[in-house]
Chain A
Amino acid sequence: MVDEPRIGVYVCHCGRNIAGVVNVAEVAEYASKLPGVVVARDYMFMCSQGGQQLIQDDIRKYRLNRIVVASCSPNLHEKTFRRAAKGAGLNPYNVHMANIREQVAWVTEDPEEATEKAKALVRGAVERVKHHEPLEEKKVPVKDKVLIVGAGIAGISAALVCANAGKTVYLVEKEPSIGGMMARFDKTFPTLDCASCILTPKMNEVASHPNIKLLTYSEVVDVEGYVGNFKVKIRKKPRYIKEDLCIGCGDCVEACVFKNPRFYPKPDEWSLGLKRRKPIYIPFPQAVPRVAVIDPEACVYLKYGKCAQTCVKACSRNAIDFTQKEEIIDVEVGAIILATGYKTLDLRKLPQYGYGKYPNVYSAPEVEVLLNASGPTGGEVVLRDGRKPESIAIIHCVGSRDEKYKKYCSRICCMAALKLAHLLHERTGAEIYEFYIDMRAFGKGYEEFYRRVAGEGVHLIRGKVSEITDAALTPEEEGKLIVRVEDTLAGAIRRIPVDMVVLMPALEPAVGSRELAKLFGVSVDENSWFMERHPKLAPVASLTDGVFLAGCAQGPKDIPDSVMQAEGAAGQALALIDKGYVELEPNIAYVDEEKCSGCRICVGLCPFGAIEFDEERGKARIVEALCKGCGTCAASCPSAAIQQNLFKDQQVMAEIKGVLAAMRGG
């Protein structure tokens, strides 16, 4: 204890949120009698102007030097009350919050129990705050560059906003071309405008923008540092093509020794395996950068060291370079936007729908590619057996809203299914059957779109499909796929024979999302989507300062929402770096050198690389600017030589003892 504590305790009603369960007056009365407490009050909304004013007035009137606010989670209002205290001349870190809303009122039903629990937490906070000391925030300059990971429509949109604001953007994409999932679409709902007509200009703008450093075929491998000052390592895989020389003419692709498409060595990634590709290829006609790439696992020369190298001879610009090695690029940025997108659920996990078993069962993304003018059939809808389908079933909620797979709604499928219904009908004239559980048409123009497609003669059948089978019971079913479904509107079990089935798979986080989350220190939710700081009021911030989220990486989204979140994330990133500095929380750890034995337990544990070991003196040292206050080292230090501001052993122990003393009925 630095000085004689004079504590003010403020118990918030939070309207009925707290006061509806907790007897707030009784808690304030209890607090007023605790040693060190000078004044204790209850108030309707502590976070309001009036509540803050109350604290400020009391600080001046009673010469308070410690404040306890018993209200909501510090996540919400710690900053509010610290600011209020600061306004009255008190060091903001002499404020502590007891969370009696989330941890008491919202979870403890019995009013008496809840009141006792609130008292215990308040007593803990009172005991703890006695050990608080004034702390100073540190101002650290920020790097005015932005890293964006993932160059789908979200990453592209965010990059353009930041770049147009004059900031340097590193846009990292693991595929050889930017564009993401949207580049595979032919049309977009609800307006049915051509996807590539609206996406390609943006992709080209990215490629030619002087402020955007485009790093395709690249992945982030290491992230160090903290808000405003991230050090990022990016691995750029070799394309075996000199990017600055290649003009994307495609002569090399043409000249490659592989001639018969049937024997091309690899399934084509962009068209989701609907065709095969050569070892040297350009991902798709509108690819950006329009530069060829050589797949070392497929290229005869790179694999076996021997080849006629017809590609090299064909290249008039001598752009092919088999000696290219992977490059590690170090960049320093102030803000990071994660826009790593999604993938669709592996449909083989739902064997009842026959994907992978019946060739004419397609996933929705495959059909998108099939419809695309740049796709393997030039936009012609032709089945794998070469027939043109005369009847098509589209099945919603495949793996979504399903206890066995994904409990959530994947949000985009209803509209995408209607879009596919429209396009498939338009291209083939086929009868279209759509099987849905609920039709969710929530966005701007979506309900109208639903009505339009419904009016086009699509058969909308409400019911969850139980099975796709080829076991025909009648002559009409021979050679068809039969959709078995309970039509819940007609109240009948139906069998509908079709030529083609389209499954609308659930969305899930992109491959490697968990690893990426670990790399960037962001949290993920139960379904591995990146977690936003607050579902309503901080939807683009992650829980890690300086790292923002955009697009489907945070949860399923359609294109308008992805772009909206991306531009929001870009705005947040700009707000952060334009300020020029960040104030670091002073909750950092430090080493008491008198006690440090040099055991090195802590050194390897710091997730931020903030601990250095001084070999000469045999002591650990924490680099203040790198410490994020996570507490790992302080907890691990076997000598109690590492302490963390605001979480010192004596503060935490005092809080525990305070809580226990109250529970003893003290």
Chain B
Amino acid sequence: MSEGKPKIALYWCASCGGCEEAVVDLAEDLLKIAEKVDIVFWPVAIDAKKEDLEKLRDGEILVSFINGAIRLSEHEEMVKLLRRKSKLIVAYGSCSYMGGILSLANLYPREEILRYVAMEAPTVENPGETMFKEKTMINGVELELPRFLEKARPLDEIVEVDYYIPGCPPTPQVTLKAIETLLSGNLPPRGSVIGASDKSLCNECPLNSTKPEKLLVKKYKRLTHAEIDPEKCLLAQGIPCLGPVTRGGCNALCIKAGMPCTGCFGPLDGVVDYGGKAVSYLASILDVPPEKDAVLKALEGLPDPVGYLYKYSLAKSLLFRKRAER
């Protein structure tokens, strides 16, 4: 641990661990980065504790990469600590950036989730109806669990975030590009999404050139219910591909594997609500008579619009924001 190298930290909040895998996926490149920097905190890989973090001077860490949404009081506590110790905070991955998949839990109240997990899930046998407790006395010692918060939230609702790296998880290429940007010293405006493209996925999609002159869709189909030509634009075939509304930079990995874009890179700059924008364009190109029955029929292939269109961004959306009382 030489003094001259910039210090970096990596932390995970409510995440699946995929973002950690993504860092490991850098493979040999990770070693090159490790030569240039000093990793001072990374619970998944190195043995440093919260106390070690607290011992650092404020702002001593150049950049902290934080993945996962904020769901527990512990997450709040740790990211506030990291914010204090870091010059730059980077939200790494879709959960940290927009709430991610697990923020779809925001469709249900906290109590309902806890109840389901503790008592109702098919794999649970809990005849005594034991419930989670934040504090428990065992042998005269009080044990404390972090509190499960009301909602899953993106990182920037807890602390100020300097940059965002999108993806579920971010691809190695995006991660490398972002780190290069950060280490270059030539920093983009605060709040920018880094490592990815400024244009939507269509721009880099190999199938974009197969779009017809007028892109209109008679009916949306589920991938499992449709026979598709993997050489032709999926949207033009009625698969609700979210490429047009999603930031590029992933090299169209899913498309190349025959799957539609599900939107993990999130919206482009200037888009206020990702799912709302998705609704706008999907509805705009729907070529059916403006009658309720016809429209509902055409939308049968989109049975769960919130789950589909806000798959990675529900916590960041305008939905479920409480109306302020007068």
Chain A contacts to B: CB under 8 angstroms: 594-601, 603-605, 613, 618, 632, 635-641, 649, 653, 660, 663-665
Contacts and interface: CB of A to CB of B under 8 A. Distances in A.
Contact of A638 (B208, B216, B278): B278
Contact of B215 (A603, A632, A649): A603
Given A597-B244, A599-B200, A636-B281, 5 more contacts: A595-B270, A598-B208, A601-B285, A613-B213, A638-B277
B214 A599 contact: no
B244 A599 contact: yes
A635 B216 CA distance: 16
Contact of A640 (B201, B211, B248, B271): B271
Interface in B208-258: 208, 211, 213-216, 243-245, 248
B270 A638 contact: no
Nearest to A615: B209
A638 B203 contact: no
A632 B280 CA distance: 10
A91 B320 CA distance: 40
How large, as a class, is the contact surface on chain B?
Answer: 20 to 34
A604 B208 CA distance: 15
B269 A638 contact: no
Interface string B76-99: 000000000000000000000000
A604 B244 contact: no
Contacts of A594: 198
B326 A601 contact: no
Contacts of B270: 595, 640, 649
B198 A595 contact: yes
Given A640-B268, A664-B324, A665-B326, A599 B280 contact: no
B272 interface: yes
Interface string B261-277: 00000011111100001
A626 to B, nearest CB: 16
A558 to B, nearest CB: 35
Given A637-B281, A639-B244, A649-B270, A600 B199 contact: no
A639 B284 contact: no
Contact of A597 (B200, B215, B277): B200
B202 interface: yes
B201 A597 contact: yes
B271 A639 contact: yes
A604 B285 contact: yes
B211 A600 contact: yes
A597 B281 contact: no
Given A595-B270, A601-B285, A660-B324, A638 B245 contact: yes
A613 B208 CA distance: 13
Chain A interface mostly helix, strand, loop or mixed? loop
B216 A597 contact: no
Nearest to A594: B198
Contacts of B280: 635-636, 638
A598 B326 CA distance: 44
A317 B143 CA distance: 110
B272 A649 contact: yes
A639 B285 contact: no
Which of B214, B244, B267, B271 is packed against the most chain A CB atoms within 10 Å? Answer: B244
Interface string B91-115: 0000000000000000000000000
B209 to A, nearest CB: 9
B202 A603 contact: no
Contact of B284 (A596, A597, A605, A641): A605
18 contacts: A597-B200, A597-B203, A597-B244, A599-B244, A600-B202, A601-B215, A601-B244, A603-B213, A604-B214, A605-B284, A613-B213, A636-B281, A638-B200, A638-B277, A639-B199, A640-B267, A640-B268, A640-B277
A9 B321 CA distance: 31
A595 to B, nearest CB: 6
Contacts of B278: 638
A597 B202 contact: yes
A635 B215 contact: no
Contacts of A601: 215, 244, 281, 284-285
A364 B326 CA distance: 63
Interface of B: 198-203, 208, 211, 213-216, 243-245, 248, 267-272, 277-278, 280-281, 284-285, 324-326
B249 to A, nearest CB: 11
The 9 A-B pairs of least Cβ separation, nearest first, read: A604-B214, A638-B245, A599-B202, A597-B203, A636-B284, A597-B200, A640-B270, A599-B244, A597-B199
B244 A595 contact: no
Contacts of B243: 599
B289 to A, nearest CB: 12
Nearest to B283: A636
Contacts of A595: 198-199, 268-270
Which of B216, B280, B325 is packed against the most chain A CB atoms within 10 Å? Answer: B280
Contacts of A638: 200, 244-245, 268, 271, 277-278, 280-281
B276 to A, nearest CB: 10
Nearest to A635: B280
A598 B277 CA distance: 16
A447 B19 CA distance: 87
Given A597-B201, A603-B213, A639 B268 contact: yes
A468 to B, nearest CB: 36
Nearest to A640: B270
Contacts of B325: 664
A609 B205 CA distance: 26
Contacts of A632: 284
Which of B199, B267, B271 is packed against the most chain A CB atoms within 10 Å? Answer: B199
A596 B199 contact: yes
A604 B287 CA distance: 10
Contacts of B269: 595, 640
A436 to B, nearest CB: 38
A115 to B, nearest CB: 14
A596 B268 CA distance: 10
Which of A595, A638, A641, A653 is packed against the most chain B CB atoms within 10 Å? Answer: A638
Contacts of A665: 326
Contacts of B244: 597, 599, 601, 638-639
Given A597-B244, A636-B281, A636-B285, A604 B215 contact: yes
Contacts of A649: 270, 272
A632 B208 CA distance: 22
Nearest to A604: B214
A168 to B, nearest CB: 33
A618 B324 CA distance: 44
Contacts of A653: 272
Nearest to A653: B272
B290 to A, nearest CB: 11
B215 A600 contact: yes
Nearest to B236: A600
B286 to A, nearest CB: 11
B284 A598 contact: no
A112 B200 CA distance: 47
A495 B220 CA distance: 61
Contacts of B268: 595, 638-641
A41 to B, nearest CB: 27
Contacts of A597: 199-203, 244, 248
Contacts of B201: 597
A604 B216 CA distance: 7
Contact of A639 (B200, B208, B211, B272): B200
A618 B280 CA distance: 22
A603 B215 CA distance: 7
Contact of B203 (A618, A635, A660): A618
Which of A632, A637, A665 is packed against the most chain B CB atoms within 10 Å? Answer: A637
A653 B272 CA distance: 9
Nearest to A592: B270
Contacts of B199: 595-597, 639
A622 to B, nearest CB: 16
A572 to B, nearest CB: 31
A444 to B, nearest CB: 43
A594 B284 CA distance: 23
